[in-house]
Structure 1
């Protein structure tokens, strides 16, 4: 083979590799989609994404567990994917879920915004939780320190519970911030209904490992299970 044809052949192989890999990834995704739909028809698939580090496809099911599926769709496992990086172990599944929280629209939350915002926290809260009420009393202080507090709903007793109904009523009210404060002071809440994010917030909390309230998520993805006084929260945020 002449040098020209050698060069041409090498060039053709190199330039075709991205197309080849793209086709393989697409084929794997299609097989995974078909296999999961056939094996688990009770769930609807929200997303399928290739996890490049492990070579597995992460399948997000609506109101179901996260699956990690082989490219041929014949094997899967549930739970989290951990990355071993020397002496460090990172929970990549939880990290991705925490990134989801940062990407949520603020309109979905009840937000107590600092006038001079330096940082923010996102809090899974329950109106009937004593420690949530303690944290809420410190919101003015947190705001003064430049910390915005963004609330997501997490009724600990589950969907359909009294706490759930209260939180739906608050999110659907004409003054969510005011009624959230009143509820945490023990006041009765007028019943309201509307399209609301309470169930979605609860399911999101479960998917990232929220087991109690308050659960505080810092903007760098760190998850703090439980109450922290304002001064300690400020230290965690580097303020």
Structure 2
């Protein structure tokens, strides 16, 4: 006669199998992480086994690379899901590089308010960055926004000099917009307390900001590069809805 098994007896082996598989996956990820750190010669932030056969996502230095279990192949590029045609790499980077907006030291930024200022975002920008100037012209068309510009002089010594002058201006927002959107060079000596600018550089390095402009929205999402005003408007509407 067959013995009737309790539901607990049936479920227990399933949980045990799931736990074993989970432990195995973690062990594989750990070994891949160790091996990739040796190959890349630096810290790897995370390794995750993807849903795709024998493919691991390796996140390091703000970038994603892919490899197999034995690291016989390492490639950098865009991973597209064959069924949905979604850009998997872009979606994962968006998640992995997100920040907590509330932790940004906004007192270290140039504050620009237009209209009611309810829609908020922040940028890291170099005053000699051509793409930043393009973005600044786009931003002048936005209304009802508060923009926090973190001066991030990483391109040249002159970038630091201009940043100091903008920071020391009586109206920082006007000085920034005059230079970036209209080409009117900032006046003054830049001899006030400019320690905030060095703090911005340190913060940018910590956040893995390697280029300007870099935009952050209040949901933590980061978008590198100058983007069209339509995309900024769309993102601001999404964050406002949340």
Give me the TM-score of the superposition, normalised by structure 1: 0.63
Task: Give CA deviations for 1:89-127 in whole Å, capped at 9, x if unaligned.
Answer: 32x333333343453532167263658454334434221
Aligned to 2:190: 189
Task: Give CA deviations for 1:152-210 in whole Å, capped at 9, x if unaligned.
Answer: 556573xxx22553487589x6x79955753535225348457524266378454xxx6
Quote the RMSD (CA, aligned, Å). Answer: 4.5
Unpaired runs of 5+ residues, structure 1, are none
Contact 2:33/2:46 (CA < 8 Å) preserved in 1? yes
Q: 1:77 to 1:154 in 2, by over 3 A?
A: farther
State the Cα distance separating 1:4 from its structure 2 match: 3.2
Contact 2:152/2:200 (CA < 8 Å) preserved in 1? no
State the Cα distance separating 1:80 from its structure 2 match: 3.3
Aligned to 2:160: 165
Counterpart secondary structure, 1:150 = strand
Counterpart secondary structure, 1:151 = strand
State the Cα distance separating 1:34 from its structure 2 match: 2.0
Give me the TM-score of the superposition, normalised by structure 2: 0.62
Aligned to 1:83: 81
Structure with more strand by fraction? 1
Partner Cα separation in structure 2 for residue 120 and residue 148 of structure 1: 5
Contact 2:134/2:226 (CA < 8 Å) preserved in 1? no
Counterpart secondary structure, 1:196 = helix
Counterpart secondary structure, 1:25 = helix
Aligned to 1:32: 32
User: What pairs up with 1:1-239 in 2 under 5 angstroms?
Assistant: 2-4=2-4, 10-41=10-41, 43-45=42-44, 47-54=45-52, 56-62=55-61, 65-86=63-84, 88-90=85-87, 92-99=88-95, 100-104=97-101, 105-107=103-105, 110=109, 112=111, 116-129=116-129, 132-133=132-133, 136=136, 142=142, 145-152=143-150, 155=153, 157=155, 161-163=156-158, 165-166=160-161, 169=164, 178-179=171-172, 181-182=174-175, 184=179, 185-187=184-186, 189-190=190-191, 192-193=194-195, 196-198=199-201, 201=204, 204-206=208-210, 214=213, 223=223, 225-226=225-226, 228=228, 234=233, 237-238=236-237
| Number of residue pairs matched by the alignment | 221
Contact 2:132/2:213 (CA < 8 Å) preserved in 1? yes
Unpaired runs of 5+ residues, structure 2, are none
Q: 1:232 to 1:79 in 2, by over 3 A?
A: closer
Contact 1:123/1:152 (CA < 8 Å) preserved in 2? yes
